[in-house]
Structure 1
Amino acid sequence: MDLDPLLADTEPFTAADYAARMAAAARAAAEAGLAGLLIAPGPDLTHLTGYRPVDTERLTLLVLAADREAVLVVPALEAPDAAKAPGAGALTLRDWADGKNPYDATAPLLDATGRFGVSDNTWALHLLGLQRELPGTAYAPLTDALPMLRAVKDRRELARLAAAGAAADAAYAQILHVPFADRRESDVAADLAALLRVHGHSQVDFTVVGSGPNGANPHHEAGDRVIRHGDMVVLDFGGLLHGYGSDISRTVHVGEPTAEERRVHDVVREAQRAGVAAVRPGIACQDVDRAARAVITEFGYGDRFIHRTGHGIGVTTHEPPYMIEGEEQPLLPGMCFSVEPGVYLPGRFGVRIEDIVTVTDDGVRRLNNAPREMAIVE
């Protein structure tokens, strides 16, 4: 699939788009042997309806079943906002008032003895309330029941992910020209956040700046450590543009690196290349992990690669599929995920290189194209 013409294809999704998604989700649920889906506020609800309510203790729940109309149960005070959601025209609203039992409004929509897929972030308060109301029902998290619900992106979703990737690349190109030495990690992180917004991001989700020994912590939060000349610095940053995520990692060096630092960086870059090269339709997710991990192990750093090779991305930064040993889900065209091997030497430094890729009809395409060579910063 040629993505170049897609970069401008970021018009808002329509009610028809959301109707098609809800219908497809209901069919997938039936094929999985589920009586339906129960979708609470969060990424699944956003994907299926375009609605982003405030997530509170008041019950909001989308009920989907193959043989019934889609119904969104909402608090009465939030019904006006729900009615304005992009996908509202493709569903029926059922509201409940404060002081009333919200499960009374929900129970008639459910098969009293059915097994339902439930979005992973559903409040236990609500799930337990439904179980009290309908003790014959059973529930399974969507990660188990329908892990690929959002995994395959359509043409317009790919457009948004491609645009987000290009914006992250542009932010990286500019961060190389800001001072690193004698500044706090948090200062560089603020620069990264500002650059993501300059390049169109509406939301910045994370700006990891791990300098020197902090780079050996993959999820280090930028802090007050002053970056020094001679530091390796791991940069990992991203957010949302047009509602879809970016996520990129590069490792730079303040001044000239040592021979060992160059060697480790070269190993990680080769591992990342091998992981990306392995991507094609039909292979298992774990094969991407194996390809990247084999390179790092060959060079003696296998025990210093301490996380999975990749994760899916879409309306959230982390979602299925996951590139990890044991995940036998085959890759399909339209899946998008990270390939991000790393080597972490405790107390010394770390290296990580990450791109978002998409599976094409006959292989793979990177959605990040920033240079992967070690950049020297000042």
Structure 2
Amino acid sequence: MATTAQPVPPPFTAHDYRGRMERVVADAVAVGLDGGVLVTPGPDLVWLTGYQPTAITERLTLLLLSPNREPTLLAPRLERPDVEAAAGAAALTIYDWTDGSDPYAAAGEFLDPVGRYGISDSAWAMHLLGLQALLPATRYRAMTQCLPMLRAVKDDAELARLAAAGAAADSTFLEVVKLRFAGRPETEVAADLAGLLREFGHEQVDFTVVGSGPNGANPHHEAGERVIQVGDSVVLDFGGLMNGYGSDTTRTVSVGEPSAELVRVHGIVREAQQAAFEAVRPGLPCQEIDRVARAVITAAGYGDQFIHRTGHGIGVTTHEPPYIVEGEQQLLLPGMCFSIEPGIYLSGRFGVRIEDIVTVTTEGGLRLNTTDHGLAVVS
């Protein structure tokens, strides 16, 4: 199989990272975080600075973004050269600490002893407890709770990366359906998906769900040794990171000619997915997209078999805010990207799911996955 190399986008610049940091500080002030935000290794730190430790260890690494001082990053001294090489380092005041010294005391040199902070969801509990022990008057809120839209609205460069990742996932699907399914274990098809994602440019594969027959009724089924049979439906859900940004798409295929019931259920899910997509527009609460998809499935008599939210955000991770679920009143904004993935799951029999990544535009929604939603027949 010949693949076409995807052009590598230009890297983000120090200017890009500084703009993100400034936006986060403004958002923190707006929600009453007078101390600012504390960012530990994980997706937030990568997005804000371009710095990702080679391994997330027990050593404290902490970025402070505060209205009261310039961006400040504390890191272990042995990792300082890597920090200084990061694209966003020009915007940072860098502190370091050495093994054998107290990293929390080092952090206390630039933290407000009575400040209110947002802190990364990925922060280690021992680090948060260490900061609280040093500065007992400080207060902390989880980042998803206080700044849920931190990374939700993408700029043009981010959207281009997401579009390229989506196109690579689409190419993966178009190739995998050419392969034989019947008589092979799910794990072999999952390996095909992973290999194709990498051939089309992904540097990281996060998941390859292959749910055949009754296994398709488990939305997060791990591919196993079940041998796929003629007459099965197979849920294929796969994605990962390409140029640092995520892909995630699902299609359901039939091994041989589908039964009338599978055709009917697939048609309902397809209608629900399309209706939810058509509802996307700026200013609409996230929960309304979930309600639209759910209404179609419920009206068809399968409401109890739609057992998960309609979607999740995507960016530098494959799951992030916003979440397309009942109770989420965050308004859709241009530049947000999320999945629309309704499904019906008939326990012990089969499942159907269709998923695209969608971005909000000023006029509505734009799909980043464009492969046919029809029920593909594979051999």
Query: Contact 2:8–2:243 (CA<8 Å) still a contact in 1?
Result: no
* Deviation of the 1:108 alpha carbon: 1.9
Q: Judge conservation of contact 1:8–1:159 (CA < 8 Å) in 2.
A: no
1:30-87 per-residue CA deviation (whole Å, 9 max, x = no partner) reads: 1111021000000100110011112110000101102311111101111111111111
Describe the superposition over 1:327-367 as per-residue Cα deviations: whole angstroms up to 9, x where unpaired. Answer: 00000000000000000000000000000000001111000
Other-structure match for 1:359: 360
Matches within 5 A, 1:276-315: 276-315=277-316
Q: Which segments of 5 or more consecutive residues in structure 2 lack a partner in the other structure?
A: 1-5
1:271-321 residue CA offsets vs partner (Å, 9 max, x unmatched) = 000111110000000000000000000000000000000000000011000
TM superposition score normalised by structure 1: 0.97
Equivalent-residue separation in structure 1 for 2:91 and 2:208 (angstroms): 37
Task: List alignment gaps of at least 5 residues for structure 1.
Answer: 1-6
Alignment partners' CA distance in 1, 2:293 and 2:166: 21
For 2:353 and 2:233, the matched residues in 1 are separated by 11
Q: Is residue 369 from structure 1 mapped to residue 370 from structure 2 by the alignment?
A: yes
Q: Aligned partners of 1:94 and 1:184: how far apart in 2? A: 52
**C-alpha distance in 1, partners of 2:125/2:201?**
36
Paired letter, 1:17: D
Cα RMSD after superposing both structures: 0.9
Q: Report the AA paired with residue 197 of structure 2.
A: L
Contact 2:216 2:233 in 1 (8 A): yes
Which residue of structure 2 lines up, in the alignment, with residue 4 of structure 1?
A: none
1:1-378 to 2 correspondences below 5 Å: 10-34=9-33, 35-53=35-53, 54-378=55-379
SS in 1 for 2:137: coil
Q: Give the number of equivalent residue pairs.
A: 372
Give the superposition deviation at 1:10: 2.0
The CA distance in 2 between the partners of 1:157 and 1:9, in whole Å, is 13
Q: Is the 8 A contact 2:312 2:338 kept in 1?
A: yes
Q: Distance in 1 between matches of 2:151 and 2:68?
A: 21
* Secondary structure of 2:282 counterpart: coil
Runs of 4 or more consecutive aligned structure 1 residues displaced over 4 Å after TM superposition: none
Give the alignment's TM-score, normalised by structure 2. Answer: 0.97
Conserved? CA contact 1:42–1:52, under 8 Å: yes
Identity of aligned residues (%): 65
**Contact 1:9–1:156 (Cα < 8 Å) also in 2:** no
Contact map agreement 1:23 1:66 (CA 8 A) in 2: no
